[in-house]
């Protein structure tokens, strides 16, 4: 790599005019990369294992439909709202220090979640996990970029770092399934304890400290506005799905929209905004960030619903459900690895369009058929196509921004990732809940609580006489399946719109 000359022009006799060359990483840096892999594996494990645990924790804590969705996705909303802020905090106090603080917080919150005795306490623990999790991603990526200065080594290190998400996602269903078959639902939150302890012990020994004395100012009001706007709107959606449209939920939605408008206006007026909204004027940036966010919306939603379908409708054990999710994970890894090769054949916009068009038939299969094989095949096709898109979007998001705004663009990309996952589970879950509540009929003698969730219906059926239990389970499972199929239809429409939108990148990039 050609560096910048360090000598004056003309050079003095005692000055070496050879260009600066970035130092290559040594064994200490590669061992440090292994340490940085621990939180990325942890995040992959935590998400997929929790999806498996949802039916079991529903049976124990008896959360309402909206509480169950909050348990699953409040983590993502908190992370999305704080990612950019935590990146600035790390620059100020030290990136390694923030990583250690976040790891310790994640450990404590994991223990709180594992032994939660109520749905409200579990939601609180998940929110605290989100607070701690928001420190992990920006800390690991920024430390990695400082440790690996050589471009070739840095690309390899980032590829290894990203692969650990998929490794964690693949191991989560298997490890979580084994734990859930033998222990209580809270055991899935203990999966991360060993890697967190290891990170806290060896991190200070192998990871260097970096801080930026010129770090930007943190606008706390913008942080509060962004999180409050997202949670208010999603709360209104969930409550509407649960109990219909009421003045209270409408008021919350209006407040959320108003807070969002205030947030946008404030960002446009700040010299150091939390989100640089001017980047959205670049069509390549906005289209690729939208593809990333809504692609993950679709994938996260359908994966979450598929895991519930396997257990609650088809009657699989958690371990069986985890095994049947493996083809989707393998297909996703194949899509990710195919990204660099597909980009050699097509321009970025065309390659993303191809990915979405691969996903559409899979989602259509999930919408038109029932049973394990249509769901597995359909979800695998969706994972293959959408992961192909995601392998390309991150690079386009960063490269389409001005070089001096690359760091901000990277943070916005990470925010879009977390927001897409959280919104997918929240909104698709609310749609299924609304369809379920409208379609389930309560047989005489069954409690009205079976209208709340399919998990409640399965639990109550165990207390009823066999004919009545079978009648209840049939109507409840049919109603839930209808909801999943509707969510799949809406996902087909979404990926087709995304395919058409990303195709425009061919003309703008």
pLDDT for position 86: 76
pLDDT digits (tens, 9 = 90+) for 321-364: 878 888 888 888 888 778 777 877 888 888 889 999 999 999 99
pLDDT for position 357: 93
**List of residues 6+ apart from 501 with CB closer than 8 A:** 287, 290, 291
pLDDT digits (tens, 9 = 90+) for 53-72: 777 787 788 787 677 777 87
H or E element in which residue 360 lies: helix 348-368
Distance separating alpha carbons of residues 29 and 473, to the nearest angstrom:
56
Better pLDDT: 228 or 361: 361
> In 3D, which of 422, 436, 312, 324 has the Cα closest to residue 380?
324
pLDDT digits (tens, 9 = 90+) for 375-399: 999 999 999 999 888 877 876 776 6
Q: Note whether 455 and 474 are within 8 A (CB).
A: no
- Is the predicted pLDDT of residue 493 greater than 60, yes or no? yes
Most confident option among 25-29, 40-44, 429-433: 429-433
**List of residues 6+ apart from 313 with CB closer than 8 A:** 454, 477, 480, 481
- Is the predicted pLDDT of residue 15 greater than 60, yes or no? no
Confidence of residue 21 (pLDDT cuts 50, 70, 90): very low
- Is the predicted pLDDT of residue 1 greater than 70, yes or no? no
The model carries a pTM of 0.74
**Phi/psi of residue 499, nearest 5 degrees:** -60, -45
Looking at residues 259-269, what average pLDDT do you find?
Answer: 86
């Amino acid at each position: 790599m050609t560096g910048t000359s360090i000598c004056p022009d003309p050079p003095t006799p005692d000055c070496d005019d050879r260009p600066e060359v970035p130092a290559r990483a040594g064994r200490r840096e590669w061992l440090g990369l292994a340490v940085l892999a621990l939180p990325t594996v942890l995040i992959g494990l935590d998400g997929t294992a929790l999806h498996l645990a949802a039916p079991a924790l529903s049976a124990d804590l008896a959360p309402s439909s909206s509480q169950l969705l909050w348990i699953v996705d409040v983590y993502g909303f908190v992370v999305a709202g704080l990612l950019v802020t935590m990146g600035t905090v790390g620059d100020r106090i030290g990136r390694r220090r923030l990583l250690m603080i976040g790891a310790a917080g994640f450990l404590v919150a994991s223990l709180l979640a594992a032994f939660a005795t109520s749905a409200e306490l579990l939601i609180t623990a998940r929110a605290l996990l989100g607070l701690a999790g928001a420190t992990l991603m920006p800390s690991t990526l920024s430390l990695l970029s400082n440790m690996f200065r050589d471009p070739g080594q840095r690309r390899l290190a980032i590829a290894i770092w990203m692969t650990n998400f998929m490794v964690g996602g693949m191991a989560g269903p298997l490890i979580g399934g084994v734990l859930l078959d033998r222990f209580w639902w809270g055991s899935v939150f203990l999966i991360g304890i060993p890697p967190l302890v290891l990170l806290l012990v060896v991190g200070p020994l192998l990871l260097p400290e970096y801080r930026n004395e010129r770090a930007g100012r943190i606008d706390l009001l913008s942080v509060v506005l962004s999180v409050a706007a997202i949670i208010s709107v999603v709360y209104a959606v969930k409550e509407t799905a649960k109990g219909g449209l009421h003045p209270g939920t409408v008021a919350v939605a209006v407040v959320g929209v108003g807070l969002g408008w205030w947030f946008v206006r404030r960002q446009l007026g700040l010299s150091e905004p939390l989100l640089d909204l001017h980047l959205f004027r670049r069509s390549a940036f906005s289209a690729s960030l939208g593809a990333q966010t809504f692609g993950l919306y679709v994938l996260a939603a359908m994966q979450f619903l598929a895991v519930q379908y396997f257990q609650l409708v088809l009657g699989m054990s958690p371990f069986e459900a985890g095994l049947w999710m493996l083809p989707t994970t393998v297909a996703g890894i194949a899509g990710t690895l195919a990204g660099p090769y597909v980009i050699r054949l097509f321009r970025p916009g065309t390659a993303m369009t191809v990915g979405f068009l691969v996903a559409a038939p899979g989602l259509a299969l999930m919408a038109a058929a029932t049973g394990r094989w249509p769901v597995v095949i359909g979800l695998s096709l969706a994972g293959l196509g959408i992961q192909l898109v995601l392998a390309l979007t991150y690079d386009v998001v960063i490269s389409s921004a001005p070089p001096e705004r690359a760091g901000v663009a990277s943070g916005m990309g990470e925010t879009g990732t977390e927001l897409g996952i959280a919104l997918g589970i929240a909104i698709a879950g609310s749609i299924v809940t609304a369809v379920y509540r409208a379609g389930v009929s309560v047989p005489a003698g069954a409690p009205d609580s079976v209208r709340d969730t399919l998990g409640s219906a399965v639990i109550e059926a165990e207390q009823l006489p066999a004919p009545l239990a079978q009648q209840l389970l049939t109507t409840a499972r049919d109603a839930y399946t209808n909801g999943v199929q509707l969510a799949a239809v809406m996902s087909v429409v979404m990926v087709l719109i995304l395919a058409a939108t990303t195709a425009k990148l061919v003309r703008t990039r």
